[in-house]
Amino acid sequence: METYGFLGLGIMGSAMAKNLIKAGFKVKVWNRSQAKCEEFAALGAAVAATPAEVTSSCAITIAMLADPAAAREVCFGPQGALEGIGAGRGYVDMSTVDAATAQEISTAVTAKGGRFLEAPVSGSKKPAEDGTLIILAAGDHGLFDKTMPLFEKMGKKSLFLGDVGRGAEMKLIVNMVMGGMMTIFCEGLALAEKAGLASADLLDVLDSGALANPMFKLKGAQMTQGMFDPAFPLKHMQKDMRLAVALGDALNQPLASAAAANESFKRAKGMGLADRDFCAVLKAITS
Ligand code: NAP
């Protein structure tokens, strides 16, 4: 039976890896903070000491890491994933990064005879737990097909978008829209409060018409109760806004709303809210 590797057991990675284990796949995990591997050992997963140990012993290794710096460090660092990549071995990076990072990792992996697929995901902690993510893959089509049985346990829909970089771009655009929606939603809540309107009434009106959406419903209820436990850490949302604005720069596309939203997330980070949920941007908007 084939063993599959999993690097990065954060909020998303831990839920995704658990779904693979639950589905009966043999999984070997690694995480920078080794303590997070303990519960996986208890679930029957093998635990590796380095990323290279995973990639050198698995046909396909999935990575789910914080940002471009983490994705690069885990791939190119000492005893990193690249060291273990050999002919035919697959590396599937599901972290949200920029296209240039994905392309750099792809070039290095394929230069060693390996195969590369980027596959960032849309959907947060709950869809990761439920196995209902939307997977935005690009790169090696053969590896996409080979990884499909795993994707089917982690997501409800898997798209193949073409050359490496297209997945990253799609993901950044989706999150740019989400970040913009969140900041204007928070501004609406803040303005309603100053106007003396009940938040519950605003949420009810929004939910009753064309603006109804699952994010407003879920996050609106949490924000009005002051619940900011992280499902999607604010620091990652700001990273995505920053990378989307950079993509706009590169393509000479004005992104006035996204750039303004990015400033709100930056401000929230400066207020010490980096590790809270991204809806904690409300505090930057109301302060
Ligand atoms: P997270 O809980 O912060 O986990 C980040 C993971 O990256 C952890 O395993 C962490 O290791 C590792 N890491 C960070 N810096 C590292 C470094 N320099 N070297 C090695 N490992 C490093 O983040 P998450 O929410 O799971 O998100 C993971 C990725 O998915 C991000 O790119 C995020 O933008 C994206 N994403 C998140 C969501 C969401 O709702 N949460 C949704 C879609 C996409 P430690 O445990 O040692 O810190």
Instruction: List the CATH number of the domain containing 143.
Output: 3.40.50.720
Shortest-distance Cα residue to atom 19 of ligand 1: 70
Q: How does pLDDT run across 270-282, given as a tens digit for each residue?
A: 999 999 999 999 9
Residue-wise pLDDT tens digits, 233-269 = 999 999 999 999 999 999 999 999 999 999 999 999 9
Q: Is 13 in the pocket of ligand 1 (CB under 6 A)?
A: yes
Q: How many domains does the chain have?
A: 2
CA distance 134 to 124: 10
Exposure string over 237-265, b if 16+ CB within 10 A, otherwise e: bbbbbbbbbebbeeeeeebeebbebbebb
pLDDT band at 1 (very low <50, low <70, confident <90, very high): confident
CB neighbour list of residue 211: distance below 8 Å, 6 or more residues apart: none
Identify the CA nearest to 281 among candidates 244, 230, 247. 230
- Protein residue with least CA distance to atom 16, ligand 1: 70
Structure tokens at 155: 């997501």
The verdict on 173 and 282 lying in the same domain is yes
**Is 9 a pocket residue for ligand 1 (Cβ < 6 Å)?**
yes
Domain range enclosing 201 = 169-286
Q: State which amino acid sits at residue 256.
A: A
Whether 98 and 117 share a structural domain: yes
Specify whether 147 is located in the same domain as 28: yes
Ligand 1 contact via 154 beta carbon (within 6 Å): no
Residue 8 CA, ligand 1 centroid: distance in Å: 7
- For residue 135 the two structure tokens come to 């997977």
- Domain-terminating residue out of 141, 163, 185: 163
CA distance 140 to 116: 6
pLDDT at residue 11 in the model: 98
Helix spans in the chain (H): 11-22, 38-42, 51-55, 68-76, 81-84, 99-111, 125-130, 141-154, 166-194, 199-208, 214-224, 234-250, 256-270, 281-286
Where among 145, 163, 181 does a domain terminate?
Answer: 163
pLDDT score at 183: 98
CB-ligand 1 contact for 206 (6 Å cutoff)? no
Q: Cα–Cα–Cα angle for 243, 107, 131, nearest 5°?
A: 60
115-157, pLDDT tens digit by residue?
Answer: 999 999 999 999 999 999 999 999 999 999 999 999 999 999 9
**Ligand 1 centroid – CA 12 distance (Å):** 7
| 89-93 mean pLDDT | 98
Query: Do residues 150 and 205 both lie within one domain?
Result: no
CATH number for the domain harbouring residue 281: 1.10.1040.10
- Enzyme catalytic residues: 171
Q: What percent of the chain shows pLDDT beyond 70?
A: 100
The finding on whether 10 has its CB within 6 A of some atom of ligand 1 is yes
Q: Which residues pair with 63 in a beta bridge?
A: 7, 93
Which of 163, 184, 205 is the C-terminal boundary of a domain? 163
- pTM to 2 decimal places: 0.97
Quick one: 182 and 153 in the same domain? no
Residue nearest to atom 12 of ligand 1 (CA): 65
Specify whether 72 is located in the same domain as 188.
Answer: no
In this structure, the answer to whether residues 107 and 213 fall within a common structural domain is no
Classify residue 56 by burial, with Cβ atoms within 10 Å: 0-12, 13-18, 19+. Answer: middle
Do 192 and 103 sit in the same domain of this protein? no
- Give yes or no for a contact between 181 and 237, defined as CB atoms under 8 angstroms apart: no
In the prediction, which pLDDT does 256 show? 98
Q: Are residues 20 and 151 in the same domain?
A: yes
* Interatomic CA distance for residues 171 and 119, integer angstroms: 9
What's the token pair of residue 180? 């913009």
Same domain, 14 and 145: yes
How far, in whole angstroms, is CA 254 from its chain's centroid? 25
> pLDDT tens digits for 30-39?
999 999 999 9
Return mean pLDDT, the chain.
98
**C-alpha of residue 70 to centroid of ligand 1, in Å:** 8
Same domain, 96 and 18: yes
Ligand 1 centre to CA of 129 (Å) is 15
Residue 169 clears pLDDT 90, i.e. is over it: yes
Clarify whether residues 127 and 147 are in a common domain. Answer: yes
